[in-house]
């Protein structure tokens, strides 16, 4: 993997030999079909697949694999369920594990190695896997390599041990100096903590809004800064340098709520890997679900008028992320140019990133 050179508060506060001679034509004639056959065999037939952990300790596994007649669902090396081209099964009685993995194995083609996206920890609510998504060309983003999270200051000793067993090696802290001082990260033993302060230079969050409309405008402007602000550009280049460095994996990047600064980091990563915008948006908006209880509690503690002003700061909304992508177009012309000029990823680097983080 090519190593990339390594180079505020938002709602996060609240919240990838030629042979010469007469036999050459014969070799070419046979190698092309053989190569095509190998590629077809490895191609992953799943267009949708997801694992969901349920409160009772069971799991639902669902998939769509058009043209496939049989899919085996395996856990721990044994088949726990089977189905056809479309399936949804509930698996019970599995032994306790830090993270329960499933292999979806079709009768032909490549298999998928999946787990529930959320990492259940006592000290976080929004620690989740960046992977498990399908790209526009039929590849899948590996799980267990890159994670996104809210603040890590409340991690328990058990949480830290779990993250160490999940091979978390590098933590990228996207928060401001004041956030880090008030709530220092707890990092798994042997892990490296790297400061990548996204909003250090932003003038956007110097005063709180007084109306809901001002709150929305603040979030939109903050998203734009995450794209084109100088400190943001430096911070995200640092993060992507670690993502592109195999020896740094597994990597987690986080802010306070794990939704804005973290949300843009993951949106940029998934986009670079070729995940369609609709899926990128779904991943971004999922913070509303994972943070629903915490957000509701925060709003319930405020007078109604104040809660109305703060709600836009606690939410993630499509218009926020869309403003970031619009800023990419306005400032850089294309996402490819943003990758190169800001993230430090040229075409060769992007190909290497995809080789590392995609399967299929």
Known catalytic membership, residue 255: yes
CB atoms within 10 A of CB 206: 8
Q: Decide if 129 contacts 147 (C-beta within 8 A).
A: yes
Question: Per the omega criterion (within 30 degrees of 0), is the bond before 250 cis?
Answer: yes
CB atoms within 10 A of CB 193: 14
* Residue 106 to residue 100: CA distance in whole angstroms: 20
Q: Decide if 241 contacts 96 (C-beta within 8 A).
A: no
E-only strand ranges, 42-191 = 48-53, 59-64, 71-75, 78-83, 86-91, 101-106, 112-115, 128-129, 140-141, 146-149, 170-173
**Angle between helix 277-290 and helix 261-273 axes, rounded to 10 deg:** 150
Rounded to a whole number of angstroms, the distance between the first and last alpha carbons of the chain is: 18
* Residue 357 to residue 23: CA distance in whole angstroms: 38
Non-local (6+) Cβ contacts of 228 within 8 A are 327, 331
* Residue 19 to residue 120: CA distance in whole angstroms: 55
8, 64, 222, 282 from 207: Cα distances, Å: 12, 48, 13, 30
**Letter string b/e over residues 321-339, b meaning 16 or more CB atoms within 10 A of that residue's CB:** bebbbebbeeebeeeeebb
Which residue(s) pair with 171 in the sheet? Answer: 193, 252
Q: Which of 4, 198, 232, 255 is catalytic?
A: 255
- Residues labelled catalytic: 255
């Amino acid at each position: 993997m090519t190593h990339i050179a390594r180079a505020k508060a938002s709602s996060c506060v609240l919240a990838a030999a030629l042979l010469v001679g007469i036999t050459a034509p014969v070799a070419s004639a046979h190698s092309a079909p053989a190569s095509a056959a190998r590629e077809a065999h490895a191609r992953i037939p799943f267009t949708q697949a997801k694992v969901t952990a349920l409160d009772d300790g069971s799991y639902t596994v669902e998939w769509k694999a058009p043209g496939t007649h049989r899919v085996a669902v395996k856990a721990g090396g044994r088949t726990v369920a089977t189905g056809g081209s479309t399936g949804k099964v509930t698996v019970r009685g599995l032994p306790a594990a830090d993270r329960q993995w499933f292999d979806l194995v079709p009768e032909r083609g490549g298999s998928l190695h999946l787990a529930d996206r959320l990492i259940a920890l006592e000290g976080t609510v929004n620690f989740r896997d960046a992977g498990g998504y399908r790209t526009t060309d039929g590849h899948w983003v590996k799980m267990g390599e890159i994670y996104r999270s809210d603040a890590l200051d409340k991690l328990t000793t058990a949480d830290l041990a779990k993250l160490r067993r999940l091979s978390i090696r590098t933590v990228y802290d996207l928060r401001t100096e004041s956030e880090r001082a008030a709530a220092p990260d707890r990092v798994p033993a042997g892990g490296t903590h790297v400061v990548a302060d996204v909003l250090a230079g932003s003038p956007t969050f110097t005063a709180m809004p007084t109306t809901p409309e001002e709150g929305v405008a603040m979030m939109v402007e903050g998203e734009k800064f995450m794209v084109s602000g100088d400190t943001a550009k430096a911070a995200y280049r640092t993060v992507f340098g670690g993502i592109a460095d195999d020896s740094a994996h597994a990597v987690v990047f986080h802010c306070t709520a794990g939704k804005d600064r973290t949300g843009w980091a993951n949106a940029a990563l998934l986009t670079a890997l070729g995940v369609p915008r609709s899926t990128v948006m779904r991943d971004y908006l999922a913070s509303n679900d994972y943070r629903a209880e915490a957000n509701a509690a925060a709003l319930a503690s405020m007078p109604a008028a104040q809660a109305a002003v703060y709600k836009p700061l606690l939410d993630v909304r499509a218009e926020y992320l869309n403003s970031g992508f619009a800023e990419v177009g306005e400032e850089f012309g294309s996402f490819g140019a943003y990758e190169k000029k800001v993230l430090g990823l040229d075409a060769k680097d992007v190909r290497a990133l995809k080789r590392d983080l995609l399967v299929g």
